[in-house]
Chains A and B, each alone.
Chain A
Amino acid sequence: MKEFIEGSRAVAEVVKLCKPGVISAYPITPQTHIVEELAQMVANGELKSEFINVESEHSAASAVLGASAAGVRAYTATSSQGLLLMAEVVFNIAGMRLPLVMTCANRAISAPINIWNDQQDSVSLRDTGWIQLFAEDVQEAADLHLIAYKIAEDKSMMVPVMVCMDGFILTHGIENVDIPTQEQADKFLPAYKPLYKLDVANPITMGPLAGPDYYTEARYALHKTLEDAIHLIPKVTADFAKVFGRTYNGLVEGYHIKDAERVIVAMGSVCGTIKDVIDELRAKGKKIGLLKITSYRPFPAQAIYDALKDVPKIAVIDRALSLGSYAPLASEIKAVFFGKKKKPDVISSFIVGLGGRDITKDSIKEVVRLLTAKEVTGEFIDLKPELLKENYS
C-alpha cells in the first residue's frame, strides 16, 4: 500500500513486518524517529516485542546480541558516535555469527561534532564482518530491511547486516513508499530458525576463548562467508522481486552505463541527484552514466569490473575519508582494476558532501567537469578556502 511518509516511519513499518522479538536502541540524531515509531507500535500492541530502553549504544548492541544468542530475531539502530561506541560489540556480533540487522542512519563523526549526513560512520566500520547495504531512497531503505534479515538468517550465512541510509535525507525525507502487507512479508521472510542458540535442553558455550591454534579458522570462515554472500545477495533480491514486484540487484546498479564515456561511482542517496544530472547531460548528448554501489561489504569486485572495464573515465565519489590516505571507496575501486588488461584510463577520486554539506546538481556537474584525462586524487568538491584561515592569536 502506498503511503506518503517519512523515511524513518517507512523503515519502522517494515521492521515491524519482520517481527523482531527484541528491540533495543539508544537515541541519537538522526536515528531517533525510527525507534520512536517502533516504541509507539509496541505501546499500541501493534508489534509484540520486548523493547529494551538501554543506557548506551554499547548496551543496545549487547542486548540484541544476547537476544539473538537466545534464538530470537532482534533489531537495533544507531548513527555516528553511537555506532563508534558500540564498535567492539559490532565486531563481536559478527565474530559470534549472529544474524542481527541494524539500521545505520549515516551521520558525520565528531570532532567537530556534526549531526548531519555523511558516510564516515558506517565506512569506518567496514572491517567488522557485517554486510553493509546502502540505500538510495526511502523505498529502498525500507525494502533493504526485509532483504537484510533474509540474507542474515540464511543458514549458509549467519552474518549480521547493516542497512545504511543517509541521515536526515532519507530518515527525515518524505517520499511515496509502498509498504508491503504482512502476508507478503511472511511469504518472503519466514520465522527465524536459529542454527545455534542458548538453550536449556541442549546447552552450548558461545563466545569461548580461542588461542592461536583456533582463531584463524574462525576468521577465515567469516571472510569466506562474506565472499559467498556476493552470490547469495542477488538470489535474495530476485526472490524479493517475485514477492513484492520491485527489482534490486543488491550488489551494484548501472544507470546509462552501456555506452558511457564517463561514469560516476557512488553509494547512497547522492545517487538520486546523480541520476537527475545524468538525465540532463544525456539530453545534451553527453555520454555519462552512474554505477551505484549497494553492497559495500561484501565488496562486489567482479560486478564492478564487469560494469566498468570498458569505460574510459571513472569518477568515484566518497562521502567519507580515510584520513592520511586515499579515499576509501576510491581506493577499493582502483584495486579492482590493478593489473587487469581491461581498465579505465582514469579513475579520479572526489570527496563530496561531508558533515551534511548539500550535494547539489551543480556539485555533480563540477565532478563531471573535473573528470578529464588528468587523474585527480582526493579532490574536495565545494570546499570553501576562505574558511581555512587560522585565528588562534
Chain B
Amino acid sequence: MFGPLISKPGTSRDNKTGSWRVEARPKFLHKNCIACRLCLLVCPEGCITGGEKNTYDCDLAYCKGCGDCAAICPKKDIEMVKEEGKE
C-alpha cells in the first residue's frame, strides 16, 4: 500500500546547499582560534565542526556563505574569501 508521505532522517543531506554560494566562502585560518565554539554554535546550517583550538572547519558542501561565523569570531580567525570557480 502506498500510503502517506513520510520521510526518513538524514535525507536533507542529499541537498548540497553549498552550491548556493556565489560570492564568498569562509576560510578558517587556524592561527588564533581559542576554541570558543561560537562559530559552530551560530552557523545556521550547523555545518561547522571542531574540537580543540584551530580544528574548526565548515563543510563546504552545505555552507551557504552567509558569513555569520566570520562575523562572530572574537579572534577574527575566520575570513570570508572570494568564492572560487563561479561566475
Chain A residues near B (Cβ < 8 Å): 95-98, 155-158, 195-196, 203-208, 210, 214, 217-218, 221, 225
Complex CA gap A96/B5 in Å reads: 7
* Chain A interface SS verdict (over half): loop
**A221 close to B6 (CB less than 8 A):** no
B3 lies within 8 A of A196 (CB): yes
B4 contacts A218, C-beta separation under 8 Å: yes
Q: Which residues of chain A have C-beta atoms less than 8 A from B1's C-beta?
A: 155-158, 221, 225
| Inter-chain contact total with CB atoms closer than 8 Å | 41
Minimal beta-carbon separation of A161 from chain B (angstroms): 16
Q: Which B residues between 21 and 68 are near A, CB-CB below 8 angstroms?
A: none
In whole Å, how far is B1's beta carbon from the nearest beta carbon of chain A?
5
Contact at A97–B7, with CB atoms within 8 Å? no
Question: How many Å from the CB of B2 to the closest CB on chain A?
Answer: 4
Question: Top 9 closest A-B pairs, CB basis?
Answer: A97-B4, A221-B2, A205-B7, A97-B3, A96-B4, A204-B6, A203-B9, A156-B1, A158-B3
Output the least CB separation between B15 and chain A (Å): 13
Inside 8 A of A214's CB, which chain B residues have their CB? Answer: 5
Residues in A neighbouring B6, C-beta threshold 8 A: 196, 204-206, 208
Chain B interfacial residues counted at CB < 8 A = 9
Secondary structure type dominating chain B contacts:
loop
Which residues from chain A contact B4 at a C-beta distance below 8 Å? 95-98, 158, 196, 206, 218
A300 to B43, CA, bound (A): 56
B13 at the interface (CB under 8 A from A): no
A195 touching B3, Cβ below 8 Å: yes
Q: For the complex, what is the distance from the CA of A218 to the CA of B3, rounded to whole Å?
A: 7
Please report the C-alpha to C-alpha distance between residue A97 and residue B8 in the assembled complex, in whole angstroms.
17
Which residues of the other chain, A, contact B8 by a CB distance below 8 angstroms?
204-205
* Other-chain residue from B2, B3, B5, B9 in contact with A208 (beta carbon distance below 8 A): B5
Question: Which residues of chain B have C-beta atoms less than 8 A from A217's C-beta?
Answer: 2
Question: Which residues of the other chain, B, contact A96 by a CB distance below 8 angstroms?
Answer: 4
Query: Across the two chains, which residue of chain A brings its CB closest to B1?
Result: A156
Complex Cα distance, B1 from A204, in Å, reads 18
10 example contacts (A-B, Cβ-Cβ < 8 A) are as follows: A97-B3, A98-B4, A158-B1, A204-B9, A206-B6, A217-B2, A218-B2, A221-B1, A221-B2, A221-B3
* Chain B nearest Cβ from A164, distance in angstroms: 24
Residues in chain B near residue A195, CB distance under 8 A: 3
Q: Which residue of B is nearest A217, CB measured? A: B2
Q: Which residues of B contact A210 (CB under 8 A)?
A: 5
Apart from A97-B4, A98-B4, A205-B9: 18 A-B pairs, beta carbons within 8 A: A96-B4, A155-B1, A157-B1, A158-B1, A196-B3, A203-B9, A204-B7, A204-B8, A204-B9, A205-B7, A206-B4, A207-B5, A210-B5, A214-B5, A218-B4, A221-B2, A221-B3, A225-B3
